[in-house]
Structure 1
């Protein structure tokens, strides 16, 4: 009986002294549910579409075919500017299989793209907001021509600073909530790796003739654009996202013209998560949504 009473006293002491201090640490330090930076909107998408690939380093012809793509995105609020700035982390990878107009040659193409940036959110109404900001835009990939002998492949490597904007609209159709988003990214300034016309990669990497293969880029020689239109439809604690992506990349550097025009329809899942010491829960009050 005496041991039982001692156990009760110890338990009450812990409840009185320890638990309140834990609550103060969570709220005061911004580590608890009151911290909006811990709420994350995450999506994973898969898609297929049409692509048009052109690279005069390999061929004077356009190659058209199919594009397979995967993307992963996270968005959350930050503490910048009184909590009105969100951060976006977006990764995508695609693989294309194309053929020329005469249908006597094929090519493979691939590109990995990573964007990381900040947007200031202008909440115009409770249901509609505009976002404006900038992104760090990193790209790397290849085009491989199946019939070329001397120069069968062309590398793609470039980095940009993009101007970016979004419009996000929360609406209801007969009490069914839908989220519509449109985003556009425009490269403003950057650097691109490109061999000179007729120069082999053997000359660049083995003989050291690398002068001028890294060029400054801007709208004048890399007029490119990425656009995405999406709709989120909720099913329980998860949302299904349907989206259309127009990825329009082109350049004219070192007398080599390239473009990759891709139009892709994608579908995937969106989850609203709360980060608690590496644990996650699907709870997200609307007042602190980044999305």
Structure 2
């Protein structure tokens, strides 16, 4: 009897070893969640209205530097939840319709957000989430003697969404994406109509912070991009439509820009297959 048991165990050993060998690559696989960095240069046209400074629209050109950092989160399923940081610095140079006066604007913003993603048919990926961010800047009209500047400051909670798909352009993988962000709740700064900043400096701080929603503090960021992955580096080409507007205390501030975007993604997107079977890369963009 014991001889039959030993013989059965010896016959079963090869199949047991084979099953362990099949599971070894998965158990030894390392999950990599790289930080994808995108650095952009934007240039385009802008139109500004700030009735605190002037009742006229000023139009001209806008320049911006921006950065995006994305990463899949180490949750139970890192393919579902992603995190991103956004930061930008933009400068606007505008003139009034008669070209008799110039207005300048400088603005910086930073946001952090989370998004849930879903894999859809036809290779599409959908994400939806939210972000929290701050914006601060100034609009400057040199010809105004009493009130030459208007301060900009807001804290925004935004709804975000994106849709993307990977295609091939010859032998080059390309990630096409549509990215949308709409501030939905805000706390923003605005003085009373005609209130000089000198009064604020003297201590008149009443009624400077306002609650904002789509009705009195509307904004939108819409980026359409194509990322060409060459392996060690990827190139981004895109179009960025941006609106920021507010109407409170009989003061209307509006800034609308259309910009061409060109950017670089160091180390690429990882769309090209690499001979590293023991590493599973989970990218936050696709």
Pair 1:133-2:134 in alignment: no
Q: Deviations over 1:97-156 (max 9, x none)?
A: 100001100011011111210010101147320000001121000100020000000000
Q: Is the 8 A contact 1:182 1:229 kept in 2?
A: yes
Asked whether the equivalents of residues 234 and 268 of structure 2 are also in contact (C-alpha less than 8 Å), the reply is no
Match in the other structure for 1:92 = 88
Count of residues in correspondence between the two structures? 252
Partner of 1:230: 225
The answer to whether the 8 Å contact 2:231/2:268 transfers is: no
Instruction: Specify the alignment match of 2:13 in structure 1.
Output: none
Task: Identify the residue that residue 257 of structure 2 maps to in structure 1.
Answer: 262
Provide the rounded CA distance (Å) in 2 between the counterparts of 1:196 and 1:141. 18
Q: Secondary structure at the match of 2:98?
A: coil
- What 5-or-longer segments of structure 1 have no aligned partner? 1-26, 275-282
Q: Is the 8 A contact 2:186 2:217 kept in 1?
A: no
Q: 1:243 — aligned with what? A: 238
CA distance in 2, matches of 1:253, 1:119: 31
Query: Matches of residues 36-115 of structure 1 in structure 2 within 5 Å?
Result: 36-37=32-33, 39-80=34-75, 82-83=77-78, 84-115=80-111
Using the TM superposition, give the Cα deviation of residue 183 of structure 1 relative to its aligned residue in structure 2, in angstroms. 0.6
Q: Where does structure 1 differ by over 4 angstroms across 4 or more consecutive aligned residues? A: 283-287
**What stretches of structure 2 of length at least 5 have no aligned partner?**
1-25, 270-275
Shift in Å at residue 236 of structure 1? Answer: 3.6
**Aligned counterparts of 1:79 and 1:174: Cα–Cα separation in 2:** 34
Say yes or no: does 1:185 pair with 2:164.
no
TM-score (norm 2): 0.83
User: For the residues of structure 1 that align with 2:181 and 2:208, how far apart are their CA atoms?
Assistant: 26
> What SS class does the counterpart of residue 198 from structure 1 fall into?
coil
1:286 Cα deviation (Å)?
Answer: 7.4
Determine the structure 2 residue equivalent to 1:161.
Answer: 157
Looking at structure 2, the residues matched to 141 and 198 of structure 1 have their Cα atoms a distance apart, in angstroms, of 19
C-alpha root-mean-square deviation of aligned residues, in Å?
A: 2.3
Match of 2:198 in 1: 202
Q: Does the 8 A contact of 1:135 with 1:163 survive in 2?
A: yes
State the structure with more CA Rg. 2
CA distance in 2, matches of 1:33, 1:159: 42
Find the aligned partners of 2:59 and 2:96 in 1 and give their Cα distance.
6
Instruction: Tell me how far apart the structure 2 counterparts of residues 188 and 182 of structure 1 sit (CA, whole Å).
Output: 19
